[in-house]
Amino acid sequence: MKIDELTALELAAAIKAKKISVSEAVSAYINKIEKNDRQFNAFLAVTKENALLRAEEIQSRIDKGETISPLAGVPVALKDNISIKGVENTCASKMLSNYKPVYNATIVDKLESAGMITIGKVNMDEFALGGSSETGVFGAVHNPWDVSRVTGGSSGGSAAAIAAGEAPIALGSDTGGSIRQPCSFCNVTGIKPTYGSVSRYGIVAFASSLDQAGPMGQNAEDCAALLSIISGPDGKDSACIIEKPFEFGSLDVKGFKIGLPRNYFEGGMAAGIDEDVKTKVLAAAKEFEAAGAVVTDFEMPFMDYMIPVYCIIGSAEVSSNLAKFDGLKYGYRSPNAKSLSDVYRLSRSEGFGLEAKRRIMLGSFVLSSGYYDAFYSKALKARALIKNAYDKLFKQFDMILSPVAPTTAYKIGENIDDPMKMYMGDIYTVSINLAGLPAIALPCGFDRQGLPVGFELIGDIFSENKLINAARAFQQRTDYHSKKPGAKS
């Protein structure tokens, strides 16, 4: 039994059955990270000592017959914007180099209560600002399917760790597709939960009205188990409005009404979709029809406005959220500063990377006097229209099936100097965050170069159970999610 070939739930079951010890599981993954991660650059820190000590503690509890959780003893990797007390939380930025939080994020406390073992922090785009996991100060994350290509962003380290077999399961965050796009590029499954279902306390903010942490794993079952652990109310996050953690029951997808937006596949803003991506996603729709679902095409409204609205609102919020990094209270302070003005100017210009600066400047512009009404105020109104459009669609459909990204993983450095092309890579994902909706991304095949293709199912608020069941049904009928890098597709 090779530990790194087990799903998270299979590993937990083997631990519970005493076929594998928690320490063996943790050591197997840490050893693999130390041996292989140089080529992927997925991990920024490995918490080896703490993980092994905690493994002994959890093993003792399991040996005593305690019921902890379905994922007790399972190692988990965390995106480096999620706070763990005493562990560096850099957000892949020079601005937060050597910063160690003095508290845990709420979701970390929940992982610990569930008996899971944090084995390290994984790489990302700087402050989650990017779509390729290239903008971080520690260098690009390399895709295990082809190390010359990107993993998608900003949770690229989480996806790469799972795809490379360096972690059985991971947490990422999703502001405009940052869980789902890396899943598509790396043949991984992931959930962007309903806004307000998972606490954001202790997660470094990008855009507070859009950010949502979520699980990434090898299949929908693993993701559902982890989402059940991290979801639920939290008094430390006023936006966390869910009343209790998710519980996932069994539903038959027969009769599910699935909408297929025809303008996502041809013309206009969809003109850049790869033919292989289009073919594989439409084939996934046919698979649902074969399972008994009713698939109906429709015209998605406001498609031309989704990227502009997201860029304006996201940049405005990141400009506000990153204003606190001024070289005074914490974070990077320039050694070249000779005055208070120098501290502000030099610390921010030296501490932030190019993409962070670009979005801060755009956000400051759209919030400035004279431009607020022309840009930011209009974007908020357009956001409301997008949400209302989804509300109407979910009176017709149980869920919507969509591509995750218009292309498969591209070469590292290929698009980094073309911000508009990078932003357009989020054309299918940003509206879900703008509307606060849940979505699950999962593999549906490979292009002619052998690179993974993914699709997403989008649901109404708090409809995660339907999405999980639909994803489960698809993965029971197909084996794309079980393919590993190096294996023939």
Considering only CA atoms, give the Rg of the chain. Answer: 21
User: At CA 190, angle to CA 425 and CA 272, rounded to 5?
Assistant: 20
Q: Which residues does residue 156 pair with via DSSP β-bridges, in sequence order?
A: none
Q: How many CB atoms lie within 10 A of CB 182?
A: 39
431 counts as catalytic: no
79 counts as catalytic: yes
154 counts as catalytic: yes
Tokens of 212: 């949502």
Q: In Å, how far are 310, 441, 472, 483 from 479, measured between CA atoms?
A: 34, 15, 11, 7
**Annotated catalytic residue: which of 83, 154, 158, 402?**
154
**Annotated catalytic residue: which of 83, 155, 178, 231?**
178
**Annotated catalytic residue: which of 27, 79, 83, 347?**
79
Tokens of 468: 């999980």
The set of catalytic residues is 79, 154, 178
